[in-house]
Amino acid sequence: MAPQHATYHPKDAVSAAVRATMITASAGAIISGVQNALTKQNVGAFGILTKTGGTIAVFGTGQL
């Protein structure tokens, strides 16, 4: 008797990629906030985006 094959169930690849990017970018934002809080000079609240914002980009695109 031939083995049974699993039925194909399509999945939304775009939705999965967007979800993964948002999760990893959120983790990057948290880490960027920690880096901003631990800096020796006062860079302000927007330092999360301006001074250590590269961390968010690295985490956001690093999910490949």
pLDDT in tens, 13-44: 999 989 998 999 999 999 999 988 888 888 88
Compute the distance between CA of residue 23 and CA of residue 44 in angstroms, rounded to an integer: 25
pTM above 0.75, yes or no: no
Q: Which two tokens stand for residue 40?
A: 């020796």
Compute the distance between CA of residue 53 and CA of residue 30 in angstroms, rounded to an integer: 11
Q: How far is CA 15 from CA 11, 20, 29, 33, in A?
A: 9, 9, 21, 27
Domain segments of the chain as ranges: 15-61
Amino acid, res. 45:
A
Q: What is the pLDDT of residues 51-62, one digit of tens each?
A: 888 888 888 887
